[in-house]
């Protein structure tokens, strides 16, 4: 099967880019120091490759991800880096010895739910500035005592500086990581334990306070992260077909739209083109500024690479990843070589809840 044969829209992975991204990350965070976040890619086939590179502990965001990783034999050390009240399915995995499961807790209710379900290990989740989950740093010690009193092992703390990872200015990213991690350090002093878990792709080389990095996006990267100038390369596109063109108005239309793209970080990119807008099933794009439509080689039936601004919600919309040896290109023009062979297919098997 070649790219030309795939029904579109379809996710395409540049395997060479993926391997390079993993190698770069692994140099700085070898083995268990990297706890890849599976929410980014939701595929146990991809996770198996990270495990083969020595990264055998993983972060999950949903119970379904924990279950799927355990079923795939990747349950050596799974952290559900998220709060849950319906912990029963996690307790069942622990009782069956199907996985080592640690769950994040930030309240008496989540501690009670973990203990009642038979989960044995927790991390105290600390709010380090992202107004999402996590307790106030000053409450972490008390919650750890409460968890221990409930019979749970407290492995340490986690705190995700999600408000910092995407900051365009590296100096601001550096300063705010330090501020966030000072809060996590304060909480860790009160909690104890070996684990200080946090960080993301955007702070991968700035966060020097943690014992393990929770990054996931670095594997396949997206255009939002690519703007930060990180040493990772975009390795995932949504392959589309040009289904219509308009020479009078000067645009082309690909069959990739809101329903096959995560749009929360903005419009996707098409190389050698200006994206006008996306609608349900379409991306309308024209020549780059300064190029006349007549000089722009985009024709009905061409295959185009549409590069998503945010990979996590994009991948969650699709059933599989079609893998080529890579790179996806050429990245100088809008249309890509449709003769590239699809060498593998990875199911996106960790979707839903
Ligand atoms: C809890 C948690 N940790 C880490 C990450 C890091 O992910 P990324 O590699 O996308 O920066 C995320 C992503 O949103 C997250 O939710």
Q: Choose one of 34, 37, 79 to mutate for the ligand 1 pocket test, by most ligand atoms within 8 angstroms of C-beta.
A: 37
Q: Please tell me the distance from the alpha carbon of residue 203 to that of residue 213, in angstroms, as a whole number.
A: 9
- C-alpha distances out from residue 284 to 277, 305, 350, Å: 6, 13, 31
Nearest to residue 241, comparing CAs of 196, 303, 293, 297? 303
User: Is the minimum distance from the CB of 40 to ligand 1 under 6 angstroms?
Assistant: yes
pLDDT tens profile 38-83: 999 999 999 999 999 999 999 999 999 999 999 999 999 999 999 9
* DSSP H or E stretch at residue 49: helix 44-52
User: Is the minimum distance from the CB of 313 to ligand 1 under 6 angstroms?
Assistant: no
Q: How far apart are the first and last CA of the chain?
A: 32
Q: How confident is the model at residue 331 (pLDDT cuts 50, 70, 90)?
A: confident
What's the gap in Å between 104 CA and the centre of ligand 1? Answer: 14
CB-based contact 118:153 (threshold 8 Å): no
Q: Choose one of 24, 29, 127, 214 to mutate for the ligand 1 pocket test, by most ligand atoms within 8 angstroms of C-beta.
A: 214
Residue 147's pLDDT is what? 98
pLDDT tens profile 94-140: 999 999 999 999 999 999 999 999 999 999 999 999 999 999 999 99
Task: Return the ligand 1 atom nearest residue 82 CA.
Answer: 1
Q: What does the mean pLDDT of the chain come to?
A: 97
Q: Please tell me the distance from the alpha carbon of residue 323 to that of residue 345, in angstroms, as a whole number.
A: 6
**DSSP secondary structure string for all residues of 185-208:** HHHHHHH-SSEEEE--GGGTTT--
- C-alpha distances out from residue 23 to 27, 38, 54, 55, 328, Å: 6, 17, 11, 11, 19
Q: How confident is the model at residue 326 (pLDDT cuts 50, 70, 90)?
A: confident
The closest residue, in CA terms, to atom 11 on ligand 1 is 200
The closest residue, in CA terms, to atom 12 on ligand 1 is 200
The closest residue, in CA terms, to atom 2 on ligand 1 is 160
Q: Please tell me the distance from the alpha carbon of residue 132 to that of residue 230, in angstroms, as a whole number.
A: 26
Residue 223's pLDDT is what? 97
User: Is the minimum distance from the CB of 160 to ligand 1 under 6 angstroms?
Assistant: yes
- C-alpha distances out from residue 291 to 59, 66, 137, 261, Å: 45, 49, 54, 27
What's the gap in Å between 215 CA and the centre of ligand 1? Answer: 6
Nearest to residue 239, comparing CAs of 263, 273, 270, 276? 270
pLDDT of residue 148 exceeding 90: yes
User: Is the minimum distance from the CB of 36 to ligand 1 under 6 angstroms?
Assistant: no
Residue 231 phi, psi (nearest 5): -85, 35
Q: Please tell me the distance from the alpha carbon of residue 249 to that of residue 52, in angstroms, as a whole number.
A: 51
Q: Please tell me the distance from the alpha carbon of residue 198 to that of residue 184, in angstroms, as a whole number.
A: 9
Q: How confident is the model at residue 335 (pLDDT cuts 50, 70, 90)?
A: confident
Task: Return the ligand 1 atom nearest residue 81 CA.
Answer: 1
User: Is the minimum distance from the CB of 165 to ligand 1 under 6 angstroms?
Assistant: yes
What's the gap in Å between 37 CA and the centre of ligand 1? Answer: 7
Cα 312 → chain centroid: 5
Q: Helices H, strands E: what count in the chain?
A: 9, 16
Residue 315's pLDDT is what? 98
The closest residue, in CA terms, to atom 10 on ligand 1 is 217
Question: For residue 80, what are its two tokens?
Answer: 């559900």
Q: Please tell me the distance from the alpha carbon of residue 165 to that of residue 174, in angstroms, as a whole number.
A: 10
In the 8-state DSSP scheme, what is residue 287?
A: P
Average pLDDT over residues 262-291: 96
Query: Model's pTM, two decimal places?
Result: 0.97
What's the gap in Å between 36 CA and the centre of ligand 1? Answer: 9
């Amino acid at each position: 099967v070649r790219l030309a044969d795939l029904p579109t829209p379809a996710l395409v992975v540049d395997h060479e880019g993926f391997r390079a991204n993993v190698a770069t990350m692994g140099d700085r965070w070898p083995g268990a120091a990297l706890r890849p976040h599976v929410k980014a890619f939701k595929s146990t086939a991809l996770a198996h490759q990270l495990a083969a590179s020595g990264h055998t502990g993983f972060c999950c965001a949903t119970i379904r991800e924990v279950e799927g990783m355990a079923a795939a034999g990747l349950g050596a050390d799974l952290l559900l880096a998220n709060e849950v009240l319906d912990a029963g399915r996690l307790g069942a995995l622990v009782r069956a010895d199907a996985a080592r499961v640690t769950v994040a807790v930030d309240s008496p209710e989540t501690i009670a739910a973990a203990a009642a379900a038979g989960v044995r290990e927790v991390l105290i989740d600390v709010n380090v500035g992202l107004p999402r989950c996590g307790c106030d740093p000053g409450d972490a010690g008390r919650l750890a005592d409460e968890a221990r009193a409930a019979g749970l092992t407290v492995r340490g703390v986690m705190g995700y500086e999600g408000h910092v990872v995407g900051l365009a200015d590296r100096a601001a990213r550096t300063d705010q990581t330090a501020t966030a991690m000072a809060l996590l350090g304060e909480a860790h002093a009160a909690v104890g334990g070996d684990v200080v878990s946090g960080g993301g792709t955007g702070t991968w080389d700035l966060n020097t306070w943690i014992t393990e990095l929770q990054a996931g996006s670095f594997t396949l990267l997206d255009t939002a992260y690519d703007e930060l100038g990180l040493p990772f390369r975009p390795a995932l596109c949504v392959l589309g077909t040009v289904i219509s063109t308009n020479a009078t108005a000067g645009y082309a239309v690909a069959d990739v739209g809101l329903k096959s793209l995560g749009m929360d970080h903005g419009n996707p990119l098409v190389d050698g083109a200006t994206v006008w807008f996306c609608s349900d099933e379409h991306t309308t794009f024209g020549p780059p500024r300064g190029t006349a439509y007549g000089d722009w080689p985009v024709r009905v039936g061409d295959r185009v690479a549409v590069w998503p601004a945010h990979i996590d919600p994009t991948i969650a919309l699709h059933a599989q990843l079609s893998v080529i040896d890579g790179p996806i290109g050429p990245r100088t023009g809008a249309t890509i070589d449709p003769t590239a062979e699809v060498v593998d297919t990875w199911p996106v098997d960790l979707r839903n809840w």
